[in-house]
Structure 1
């Protein structure tokens, strides 16, 4: 189901240069054993054949796993199917654990609620992102923690450090949770997590970025996290966590599908680091329900729900037997109704999130504009340098070197041979977009294809 949704969205030109086009370029370079560069991330005079290095943006060694897969199947759709498989694997982990602890009916209901959860849908409906690796890893780490399998818990938690530099804070919190039952292992993670984040931010990223040392700490509006504000303006944190109100809506939507039972579990503290860097960042996209940012919080919330349901207790009573009977009845009702509520909520909420596309007839029939975009992509030959609109980029990166069209310097093309423009893209309905097209024409580019507001230009 995830693969079907993701691939169909791609076929309908709903994927973008950010992020599927960029990760497609990373995978392409890794598959050919070259530096993981992304020409699409080039800007202005920095346009080059290679583009910025992956490790100048995020420290994600786990993306090396893309190399053999993309070598076998050199298409961006491979990344979409891989992401679907990773998320589905995390669903299996959550559902299986729920069935073992609460019984098949309740465990399957919570597993289904997680599978349909809005955060997971936003990830599947948003291109490809390395956060997909976090879901199965954190699910397996939490289950190992709950089952007191210390070695497995440490291994899976430490593996999160291979996904992204901000996971160091989550690993630190995981170490605190592990400390009660395994002090030595807990201390290892408490040290390893922050150390990995520090090395990434102060050594690795500055080494690979042209922006200079500590770039991700000094500009939270563009760096992808609020780590800069955490380090330089800690007194603003309390206000940043609650204002604007969209942040409270995000917290509500994380807890509501679990009937707020997740808040009764110690596991919910694992969500704090992610929410902290998101809410203290200057980028509004991080605060709400959009894109992939809440996906990693979903397995935490639903595993916390399972622990809370299992551990629920009733008020004390003088008669021990009567108290036990009350507890059994209360626990039975909770096990029966809470998972059903979770599944029902997630299913109903699908109407407002990406899975709803699967039930819309228009989703399965390409529009005239999509057909024009498909024809435009076929017009561009292989192994050329292309500047393209964002929604066209993922369809070209497998065969060509692709740049962001809006990043072209004025009156220059820096060796770009082809230009593909979707005039229905809002960026090209502005004065800046119109002026850019005129500049490209003045640079000598000639029309090679024009249909339904889709334009392909080539330099003779």
Structure 2
């Protein structure tokens, strides 16, 4: 067991290098967000969903999100009451872009405690490298690329909590980590593992209390709260796990966890992000619950790193790296610099291996800085749909329609009859086979209802209900 690491409040608040990394990270990803918005990027419907949630909270309403279904309370989908904090932000700046900027700021804030500790323990240059590796990590960039998700709020809580854990400030660590259960239901298990790490490090009572807190909230959220608020009276994600197969065929389930190759790559990148030496730290065990629910199922996009699912693993990886390297010794150690260099080099390799399509790398392309050539057409679409109208849309302009309308996703089977339908015939929603006519598409959705095409420009179509 290592000796306690003491630190003064002044030391914790200092480190101008850490402030620099935090500000640079926030500014970098805010820039990426603005450029994504200008290019009309919409990788999924999630930004529209969370924008609709923020709009509801800004109006002091329950988070009813019609995009998910008629009267759907989003707290019955995932347990994320922390997102009530988006309400005031949206009230000031009612746009999906506001959520992207909030996410960028949360990334920047999370970089500060980890970088400050790295600088203090390893020295200025290695510490800066660790901070930069975290900010540019594949998990963080994957989250930014896939746009806003609730897990962005987990990053600063984890970063501050893990730093306090490494510094053996047990009370502060527990206070930072405990609110993670309000970010997403599965994080209760991550909290529980970190509670056991605190227990193992010697804070028995605090560690057990945190572990019990995490497990209790996981059970409460998945077994009580989510089914109670879900329109179908269930936790929607249970059937995506093959828990029964684990019990009936543990060897087969183990083989499934270890393959196919996407899972191996995801684990490899996590190990590299932890500098390889980070596997020595029990902190990395907190990644197991997240990897387990992703790998124990047949949902293929859970297996890879390219979405936002690896984001919460990045603070764990960085903290594990620091835990393995430990504080800088008072006496010179000739063997230490190579070990630090190799570990940090491995962390950077996790970035390099995922370079081709990362949003930061895309900044080198001139096309990234250009607004979409269909920007004016998109504005005309949004302007064509009157304020307050009920509009069903595919994913492309869904987030942009949320602030002024009651937006629905056109793919939902039981949607009410919409006043307008919006289709992007060039969008990825249709897999290369878009509807020929938005009016006919809407009429097929709602037999007996008549629509007319009122706008057809640059691939966008708007149909209006006439009967």
Instruction: Please classify the TM superposition score into its range, dividing by the shorter chain length.
Output: 0.7 to 0.9
Gaps of 5+ in 1: 43-47, 221-225, 314-323
Task: For 1:357 and 1:338, locate their aligned partners in 2 and report how far apart those are by CA, in whole Å.
Answer: 27
Q: Do the aligned partners of residues 196 and 379 (structure 1) sit closer, same or farther apart at CA in structure 2, a change above 3 Å counting? A: same
What corresponds to 1:41 in structure 2? 68
How many residues were matched structurally?
A: 433
Task: For 2:37 and 2:194, locate their aligned partners in 1 and report how far apart those are by CA, in whole Å.
Answer: 36
Match of 1:447, SS state, is strand
* 1:281 equivalent among 275, 297, 303: 297
Q: How far off its partner does 1:61 sit?
A: 1.1
Task: For 1:198 and 1:89, locate their aligned partners in 2 and report how far apart those are by CA, in whole Å.
Answer: 30
Answer yes or no: is 1:201 the counterpart of 2:228: no
Q: How far off its partner does 1:430 sit?
A: 6.3
Q: Do the aligned partners of residues 273 and 155 (structure 1) sit closer, same or farther apart at CA in structure 2, a change above 3 Å counting? A: same
TM-score, normalising length from structure 1?
0.87
Answer yes or no: is 1:361 the counterpart of 2:366: yes
What corresponds to 2:379 in structure 1? 374
Q: How far off its partner does 1:368 sit?
A: 3.0
What corresponds to 1:211 in structure 2? 232
**Is 1:230–1:280's contact at 8 Å kept on the other side of the alignment?**
no
What corresponds to 1:320 in structure 2? none
TM-score, normalising length from structure 2?
0.86
Q: How far off its partner does 1:58 sit?
A: 0.9
Q: How far off its partner does 1:76 sit?
A: 1.6
Q: Do the aligned partners of residues 168 and 408 (structure 1) sit closer, same or farther apart at CA in structure 2, a change above 3 Å counting? A: closer
* 2:462 equivalent among 449, 452, 456: 456
What corresponds to 2:150 in structure 1? 130
Task: For 1:156 and 1:408, locate their aligned partners in 2 and report how far apart those are by CA, in whole Å.
Answer: 41
Gaps of 5+ in 2: 1-27
What corresponds to 1:6 in structure 2? 33
* 1:30 equivalent among 57, 73, 94: 57
* 1:95 equivalent among 104, 115, 139: 115
Match of 2:85, SS state, is helix
What corresponds to 1:121 in structure 2? 141
C-alpha RMSD of matched pairs (Å): 2.6
Task: For 2:87 and 2:221, locate their aligned partners in 1 and report how far apart those are by CA, in whole Å.
Answer: 22
Q: How far off its partner does 1:306 sit?
A: 1.6
Task: For 1:457 and 1:295, locate their aligned partners in 2 and report how far apart those are by CA, in whole Å.
Answer: 39
Task: For 1:335 and 1:289, locate their aligned partners in 2 and report how far apart those are by CA, in whole Å.
Answer: 26
Greater alpha carbon shift after TM alignment, 127-136 vs 345-354? 345-354
Q: Do the aligned partners of residues 144 and 237 (structure 1) sit closer, same or farther apart at CA in structure 2, a change above 3 Å counting? A: farther
Q: Do the aligned partners of residues 312 and 252 (structure 1) sit closer, same or farther apart at CA in structure 2, a change above 3 Å counting? A: farther
Task: For 1:196 and 1:231, locate their aligned partners in 2 and report how far apart those are by CA, in whole Å.
Answer: 24
Q: Deviations over 1:328-356 (max 9, x none)?
A: 21112223453355347636744431222
Match of 2:326, SS state, is helix
Q: How far off its partner does 1:429 sit?
A: 5.8
* 1:74 equivalent among 75, 94, 116: 94
Q: How far off its partner does 1:364 sit?
A: 1.8
Q: How far off its partner does 1:432 sit?
A: 8.0
Match of 1:52, SS state, is coil
Q: How far off its partner does 1:261 sit?
A: 1.7
Q: Which has the higher helix share?
A: 1
Match of 2:333, SS state, is helix
Q: After TM superposition, where is structure 1 displaced by more than 4 Å over at least 4 residues in a row?
A: 227-234, 429-437
Task: For 1:383 and 1:433, locate their aligned partners in 2 and report how far apart those are by CA, in whole Å.
Answer: 26
Task: For 2:362 and 2:57, locate their aligned partners in 1 and report how far apart those are by CA, in whole Å.
Answer: 33
Task: For 1:231 and 1:264, locate their aligned partners in 2 and report how far apart those are by CA, in whole Å.
Answer: 27
The 5 A counterparts of 1:12-411 are 12-15=39-42, 18-42=45-69, 48=70, 51-180=71-200, 181-217=202-238, 219-220=239-240, 226=241, 235=250, 236-310=252-326, 328-340=333-345, 342-343=347-348, 346=351, 349-407=354-412
